[in-house]
Amino acid sequence: MRIHSLTLENFRGVERLELRDLPETGVIVIHGDNEQGKSTILDALDAVLNEKHGGRSRAVKAWQPAGRDDSPTVTLHATVGPVTFTIRKNWLRAPKAELRITAPQRADYTGREAEDQLEEILSRHMDRELARTLFLRQDDLGDGIAAVGISSVTRALDGVDDGDSSGTEDTALSAAVEKEYERYFTAGGQERLELKEARVAFESAQTAQETAAAENAELAGHVDRFDRVTERQAQALADLPGAEAEEQELAERARVAAEAEERAGVLRRELQLATEALERAESAVTQRATLAAAVTDAEELLAERRAGLEAAQEEAGREATQLQELGERRTAAVQAQKDAAARLRTARRELRLVTDASRRADLTTQLASVRELNERIAQLRTATAGREITAADVDAVEEATTELTLARRLRAGAAARLEFTGPAGETLTVDGTELTLGDEPVSVELSDGTALLIGGITARYRAGHTAETGTDPVAAAEQTLTALLEELDLPDLAAVREAHDVHRRATEDLAALLRERTSLLGGAEEEQLVAELARLEEELADEDLPDLDVDAATRAVEEAEDAGEEAGRLLAEIDEALAPWQQRRAENALTALNVRIEAAEESLRQAQSALDSALAGASDEALGEAVREATRAREEALAQSRAADEEVAAADPQLAADLHEGAVVRLRSLHETVARSREDLAGLRSYIEQAQGAAERLDKAESALEAARHRLDSVTRRAEAVQLLRETLQRHRAEARARYARPFAEQLTLLARPVFGTDVEFTLSDQLEVSQRSDADGTVPLADLSGGAKEQLAILTRFAIAHLTSRESEDGQVPVPVIIDDALGSTDPTRLQRMSTLFSRMGDTGQVIVLTCVPQRYERVGGRTEYAIEDLKSSTTLL
Amino acid sequence: MTPEPHSVTFLHTSDLQLGMTRWFLAGEAQARFDAARLNTLRRLGELALEHDAAFIVIAGDVFDSNSLSAQTMGRALEALRALPVPVYLLPGNHDPLVADSVFRLIDVEGVHLLGDSEVVEVAPGVELVGAPLLARTAATDLVRRALEGLEPTDAVRIMVGHGQAEARTHDARADLIDLAYVESRLADGTIDYLALGDTHSAQPVGTSGRVWFSGSPEVTDFRDHATAGGGETNSGKALVVTVSKGAAEVTEVPVGEWTFEALDRELMGEEDVAEFLATLDAYPHKDRTALKYGLRGTLTMTATRLLEEGLEARRPVFAALHERERLTDLHLEPGPEELASLGVTGFAAGALRELVDAAVDDPTARDAVNLFFRLARED
């Protein structure tokens, strides 16, 4: 299609807009601000081509300018294929359509006809799908265009591929096939509608048939059973009289047999009695004999026993004698043993006494020594009692003495002295102490107060004041010493030393004494020995002490022990000899024999007694007679019984009873059969009545099933045919499409390289939509491309499609204008530059209509025509 | 003085099988068929009056089964009640006299049951004897058994039986009617006519001319022009029988109104198809006609479409019109110009070629091609 001119009147917000004398090819830029009418132009184009003039939908009404009841009008002058025409349409108020065809032949149409003709022209000469892609409705500059749905494109691609028909896109056929498919299947391949219904109907017909068949079979069963039961009943009724007669006859027979049996029983009992009587008689005879024999036996036994008496008595006598002798000897031995024991006891006692006495003596001695020692010890203890003068004490006194001496010496040294020389033997008294002069000078120490008496002169020394104060060391030392000595209660050092020595010695002696004591005690305590002694004293107090010493006593004991042993041994010997006799066998034997003899005598007495009394009751002859009589009676009874038994055997009462019983049972069964049959028949009749119509229902169900099967087969056949057709078509189409992808991709890439770079490549889906773009930087899915890239891609795709279809059309031009509605808003200037070249190229082969706010974007597009919307809208028509 | 030879005229029919269903008759057709069968009773009544028949004999299979719906039973009773002459019913193998037998429910004046082999005097000097089926299958020759209980008589005696007299298969059947014996009893005057039922086409049996199957008064099965036996070739009739001692005159009269036919054709081109369709068109009473057809041959697309469209158009008019699948073997061979005229190219053409090749052997492919043509041409 090429648009020559387009006029809008009262269309949306536009009072009048005229696009005139558009070039047949080239880029046409229509620019203006938003809301000024660019998209209105597209709407008008869409309206005039697709909306019938009679339309009154809300969309149509929206074209009416607000608040005015004017008629929106659009006039289009265009060429589609070989046809050049002008179409003018009014909507809403005075709706109208006028079509004037100017080429190839003039024709005018109005109204409905105009619409039809227009439609005819458009559908015949324009690829609607292509139009949709390139021409109208661009608000969806969306993610992709499915190029494969456009038959022009695919026809073009057919030309590209030199191979034979690789795929006409016969969408009409595909749609028809799809529609036919949907008659039978859902999108997911499930059965639906007719097919599903036919299947469901078939299945339920099957179920119905099964049910009816079952019902019918059941009815047939009942019918058969009815016939059988009826027959059985009739048979039973027929048999009844015969059965009754038979029962009676058998009853009589049974009765007769029973009587015979009874009689036989009676006779049998009589036989039994006779037999018993006979037995009793025979038994009496036997008993008699037994009694006689018993007497004889008893006599024999007695004699036998008596025979042995004498011997036994002798034997017993011998035994007694023996026992007596040995008994006496034993008594003597026992006595001897006792004596020996007594002797031993005495000897032992005496030994004990002697031993004790000896011990007592020892103890006494020992204790005396001990006591002596105790005294000495006590003495020593006393001696050492009191304060012990220890070595330390000695040392202390020595030291004190030394101190004093020293102090004195010092004093003497320091003290004033008087030295006296004089004739020897002259004396003087110093502090009461007489000093005798000797060869050597006598030094007298002077201290304050020292009094010297020389002859009759007393001199008392008085010390001058000295620097010394405090205690007088000598006094102190004297005090110390005096104190010590007082404490020790000794006069002087020598005494102390001596006391210490004495003590020491005493201690040593004490120790020695103690040791001696201990040894003397021999490990025991004194108290123990004392106690022992006391005890012994007590024990021996009242005793006569034998005149023996310990050794003698010991010897006596030994002898007594020996004697005892001997006595014991002797006694044991005797006991051994005695043992066998003590059983008194002979005596016991004798006693036993006596007892048995007595018993035998008693037996004899009893046997005799029994025999005598029996004889008193009946004589032997009488018994014999009784036996004979009983024998005869029994034989008679036997004969009678046998005869009766034979009779019974012949009558066979058991069998007769059984037969009768059988007849009774049969009779009863027949009655039961008749009764039960009656019941059964009644029941069956009711079932049969209820099931009326079952056969017909089955018949109908079977017919219905057959019909359903045929129908299902028929529908299935049709469904399978469309399935096969669809599948085959789809398969072929998929193969064909696979072959499109390459050439289309090539075309797209060719156009895209100048814009995106020489290494750009596109991946397409089998719908020929771009799915991803790859270049040196990587692969990006379509959705992730930038807004600008997407814009560019959308346009490039359109250009690729347009390019391909231009090759296909006869005049080498794009069959439908490419309309770009204010795109490239997000495209950077460099890209814009490159895109511009493409625009120009597209313009060479067809109309490219660009609607934009920013005409500067398209500055670089060569050969373009620009229109400003305001100019187009001016009410005076240009030219 | 010898009594005048007695002669009596009666209608002999059998195998009404009231209540029978045919699967190929869809709902309304089945209902009309049911009505037609019932209607034969009325028509028999008319015929009886027309031919002065003293009574009507139905020799077995009066009902299709013993357990019929109340509706079927009720209407049958009404029809029987409306008969102008007495009617004698014999239990057959479809309606044996067993416990659930429908006959026990019939208490209508003028309707008599031949439930045993006792002699029934229907008019002075005229006797009927039945050999009814007392069980679903007969174990012996019932007719012979009934005959054995009879002596020759001066009266005109008509026996009524149900079963086969000649084996149709090679199986020996215990209940086969001994024709020789029957003819001997015809000869000695024990009976003068044997009215048989079971076979649905009217035909005489043997050579005596006095043993006949009346056939069903309304068609039950297809007449088959293709097979040897021909199927049910002579149904839709009743017999008007005039019997006298030792002689019988039998006339077939048409009663039935429906047609069941099986057709067979070889179709090699459009002409054959046209001829076949014309044959269908020729049936005068299509609503009372059930047809089944077996077709063999090879057709072009056009011819195939002609055939299918022709059948589609006519199917609703007939009571039934369906294909005999076992006997149908049509091949599709589209002509080159046919393929070209479709104007399919590209992958669609490729798909079509594949299907056409497959259609030689595969009936589904054949149908697919057919469908393809239809859809392609509908564009």
Is-contact B183 B159, C-beta < 8 A? no
CA distance B186 to chain A (A): 34
Categorise residue B189: left if φ over 0, alpha if ψ from -120 to 50, beta otherwise.
left
Q: How confident is the model at residue B348 (pLDDT cuts 50, 70, 90)?
A: confident
Say whether residue B30 is in contact with chain A using an 8 A CB cutoff: yes
Whether A226 sits inside 8 A of B99 (CB atoms) is yes
Give strand pairing partners of B49.
none
Cα–Cα distance, A749 to A117 (Å, whole number): 40
Tell me which of A216, A697, A729, A733 to substitute to probe the interface with B (most B C-beta atoms closer than 10 Å). A729
Question: What value does the mean pLDDT take over residues A210-216?
Answer: 92
Give the angle subtended at the CA of A8 by the CAs of A7 and A13, to the nearest 5°.
150
pLDDT at A410 over 80: no
Q: Write out chain A residues lying below 8 Å of B325, CB-based.
A: 713
Tell me which of A173, A684, A689, A690 to substitute to probe the interface with B (most B C-beta atoms closer than 10 Å). A173
Q: How confident is the model at residue B84 (pLDDT cuts 50, 70, 90)?
A: very high
Q: How confident is the model at residue A168 (pLDDT cuts 50, 70, 90)?
A: very low
Q: Write out chain B residues lying below 8 Å of A692, CB-based.
A: 67-70, 73, 100
Could you give the angle at which helices A309-383 and A526-541 cross, rounded to 10 degrees? 130
Chain segment A462-493, per-residue pLDDT in tens: 877 656 556 677 788 888 888 888 888 888 88
Q: How confident is the model at residue A166 (pLDDT cuts 50, 70, 90)?
A: very low
Q: Alpha-carbon torsion B65, B71, B77, B78, what sign?
A: negative
pLDDT at A532 over 80: yes
List the one residue out of B6, B53, B52, B58 whose CA is nearest residue B192.
B6
Say whether residue B31 is in contact with chain A using an 8 A CB cutoff: no
Whether B23 sits inside 8 A of A685 (CB atoms) is no
Cα–Cα distance, A368 to B320 (Å, whole number): 168
Is-contact B223 B261, C-beta < 8 A? yes
In this predicted structure, what is the pLDDT of residue A307? 86
CA distance A725 to chain B (A): 5
Q: How confident is the model at residue A806 (pLDDT cuts 50, 70, 90)?
A: low
**Structural element, H or E, at residue A774:** strand A770-775
Give strand pairing partners of B252.
B239
A504 SS3 class: helix
List the single residue in B64, B368, B375 with the smallest CB-CB distance to A724. B368
CA dihedral A816, A787, A36, A118 (to 10 degrees): 20
Residues sharing a CB contact under 8 Å with residue A311, sequence separation 6 or more, in sequence order: none
- Omega before B84 cis (within 30°)? no
Whether A693 sits inside 8 A of B68 (CB atoms) is yes
Token representation of residue A3: 């648009």
List the one residue out of B164, B182, B148, B15 whose CA is nearest residue B91.
B15
Q: Write out chain A residues lying below 8 Å of B354, CB-based.
A: 728, 732
pLDDT at A394 over 90: no
- Which long-range contacts does A854-858 make (Cβ < 8 Å, 24+ apart)? A854/A31, A854/A825, A855/A29, A855/A31, A857/A824, A857/A832, A858/A27, A858/A29
Say whether residue B324 is in contact with chain A using an 8 A CB cutoff: no
Cα–Cα distance, A179 to A870 (Å, whole number): 49
Q: Write out chain B residues lying below 8 Å of A152, CB-based.
A: none
List the single residue in A227, A705, A722 with the smallest CB-CB distance to B371. A722
Ranges of beta strands (E only) in B14-71 are 55-58
CA distance B135 to chain A (A): 9
Whether A721 sits inside 8 A of B378 (CB atoms) is no
Is-contact B195 B234, C-beta < 8 A? no
CB atoms within 10 A of CB B177: 24
CA distance A720 to chain B (A): 7
Q: Please state whether beta strands A96-103 and A107-110 pair in parallel, antiparallel, or not at all (unpaired).
A: antiparallel
List the single residue in B20, B24, B346 with the smallest CB-CB distance to A166. B346
Closest A-chain CA to B24: A707
Q: Please state whether beta strands B7-13 and A865-868 pair in parallel, antiparallel, or not at all (unpaired).
A: unpaired
Token representation of residue A829: 């200037």
CB atoms within 10 A of CB A857: 22
A434 SS3 class: strand
**Out of A378-382, A870-874, B81-85, B300-304, which region has the weakest mean confidence (pLDDT)?**
A870-874
Question: What value does the mean pLDDT take over residues A152-177?
Answer: 58
Query: H helices of A846-874, where?
Result: 869-873
pLDDT at B22 over 70: yes
CA distance A151 to chain B (A): 11
Token representation of residue A56: 């009154």
CA distance B337 to chain A (A): 18
Q: Write out chain B residues lying below 8 Å of A702, CB-based.
A: 21, 23
Q: How confident is the model at residue B298 (pLDDT cuts 50, 70, 90)?
A: confident
pLDDT at A301 over 80: yes
Cα–Cα distance, B241 to B213 (Å, whole number): 12
Say whether residue B24 is in contact with chain A using an 8 A CB cutoff: yes
Whether B22 sits inside 8 A of A732 (CB atoms) is no
pLDDT at B3 over 60: no
Cα–Cα distance, B276 to A492 (Å, whole number): 187
Cα A608 off chain centre by = 98
Is-contact B131 B158, C-beta < 8 A? no
Question: What value does the mean pLDDT take over residues B85-108?
Answer: 88
Question: What value does the mean pLDDT take over residues A242-265?
Answer: 91
List the single residue in A170, A699, A710 with the smallest CB-CB distance to B346. A170
List the single residue in B345, B371, B376 with the smallest CB-CB distance to A168. B345
Got the DSSP string for A6-36? EEEEEETTEEEEEE-S--SSEEEEEE--TTS
Please report the residues numbered 165 through 194 in chain B whose beta carbons come closer than 8 angstroms to any beta carbon of chain A. Answer: none
B255 SS3 class: coil
Q: How confident is the model at residue A151 (pLDDT cuts 50, 70, 90)?
A: low
Q: How confident is the model at residue A879 (pLDDT cuts 50, 70, 90)?
A: very low
pLDDT at A15 over 90: no
Chain segment A27-83, per-residue pLDDT in tens: 888 888 776 677 788 888 888 888 888 888 888 888 887 777 888 899 999 998 889
Q: How confident is the model at residue B5 (pLDDT cuts 50, 70, 90)?
A: low
Say whether residue B379 is in contact with chain A using an 8 A CB cutoff: yes
CB atoms within 10 A of CB B128: 24
Q: Write out chain B residues lying below 8 Å of A733, CB-based.
A: 347-348, 351
Whether B348 sits inside 8 A of A173 (CB atoms) is yes
In this predicted structure, what is the pLDDT of residue A860? 84
Higher pLDDT pick, A830 / A228: A228
Token representation of residue A25: 């090819």
List the single residue in B68, B100, B348 with the smallest CB-CB distance to A696. B68
In this predicted structure, what is the pLDDT of residue A677? 92
pLDDT at B59 over 90: yes
Q: Alpha-carbon torsion A836, A837, A838, A844, what sign?
A: positive
Q: Write out chain B residues lying below 8 Å of A165, CB-based.
A: 345-347, 349-350
Whether B26 sits inside 8 A of A230 (CB atoms) is no
In this predicted structure, what is the pLDDT of residue B195? 95
In this predicted structure, what is the pLDDT of residue A129? 67
Say whether residue B340 is in contact with chain A using an 8 A CB cutoff: no
List the one residue out of A136, A106, A138 whose CA is nearest residue A46.
A136
Q: Please state whether beta strands A818-821 and B203-204 pair in parallel, antiparallel, or not at all (unpaired).
A: unpaired
CA distance B95 to chain A (A): 11
Q: Write out chain B residues lying below 8 Å of A703, CB-based.
A: 21-23, 25, 30
Give strand pairing partners of B193.
B158
Say whether residue B276 is in contact with chain A using an 8 A CB cutoff: no
Reported pTM: 0.49
Give the angle subtended at the CA of A517 by the CAs of A516 and A523, to the nearest 5°.
105
Cα–Cα distance, A775 to A679 (Å, whole number): 99
Cα–Cα distance, B237 to B214 (Å, whole number): 7
Chain segment A349-393, per-residue pLDDT in tens: 888 888 888 888 888 888 898 888 888 888 888 877 777 777 888
Residue type, B1: M
Q: Alpha-carbon torsion A532, A538, A539, A544, what sign?
A: positive
CA distance B35 to chain A (A): 15
Closest B-chain CA to A728: B351
Please state, rounded to an integer, the average pLDDT across all residues of chain B: 87
- Which long-range contacts does B349-358 make (Cβ < 8 Å, 24+ apart)? B349/A165, B349/A168, B350/A165, B350/A732, B350/A735, B350/A736, B351/A725, B351/A728, B351/A729, B351/A731, B351/A732, B351/A733, B354/A728, B354/A732, B355/A724, B355/A725, B355/A728, B356/B332
Chain segment B206-218, per-residue pLDDT in tens: 888 999 999 999 9
Question: What value does the mean pLDDT take over residues B26-39?
Answer: 89
Q: What is the largest CA-CA distance in chain B?
A: 103
> How many CB pairs lie under 8 A apart between chains A and B?
159
**Out of A179-183, A784-788, B218-222, B297-301, which region has the weakest mean confidence (pLDDT)?**
A784-788
Whether B69 sits inside 8 A of A170 (CB atoms) is no
Q: How confident is the model at residue B239 (pLDDT cuts 50, 70, 90)?
A: very high
Q: Write out chain B residues lying below 8 Å of A167, CB-based.
A: 346-347
Higher pLDDT pick, A634 / A815: A634
Q: What is the DSSP-derived secondary structure letter of residue A856?
A: G
Q: How confident is the model at residue B1 (pLDDT cuts 50, 70, 90)?
A: very low
Cα–Cα distance, A739 to A730 (Å, whole number): 14
In this predicted structure, what is the pLDDT of residue A595? 92
Q: Write out chain A residues lying below 8 Å of B100, CB-based.
A: 219, 222-223, 226, 688, 691-692
pLDDT at A708 over 50: yes
Say whether residue B19 is in contact with chain A using an 8 A CB cutoff: yes
Q: How confident is the model at residue A161 (pLDDT cuts 50, 70, 90)?
A: very low
Is-contact A428 A435, C-beta < 8 A? yes
CA distance A41 to chain B (A): 34
List the single residue in A219, A720, A729 with the smallest CB-CB distance to B351. A729
Whether B99 sits inside 8 A of A223 (CB atoms) is yes
**Structural element, H or E, at residue B312:** helix B301-314
Q: How confident is the model at residue B7 (pLDDT cuts 50, 70, 90)?
A: confident
Whether B350 sits inside 8 A of A732 (CB atoms) is yes
Chain segment A186-195, per-residue pLDDT in tens: 888 888 888 9
Closest A-chain CA to B66: A695
Give the angle subtended at the CA of A640 by the CAs of A637 and A641, to the nearest 5°.
85
Higher pLDDT pick, A546 / B94: B94
Chain segment A132-142, per-residue pLDDT in tens: 667 654 555 44
List the one residue out of B53, B107, B58, B62 whose CA is nearest residue B85.
B53
Question: What value does the mean pLDDT take over residues A311-337?
Answer: 89
pLDDT at A4 over 90: yes
Please report the residues numbered 55 through 74 in chain B whose beta carbons come closer than 8 angstroms to any beta carbon of chain A. Answer: 64-70, 72-73
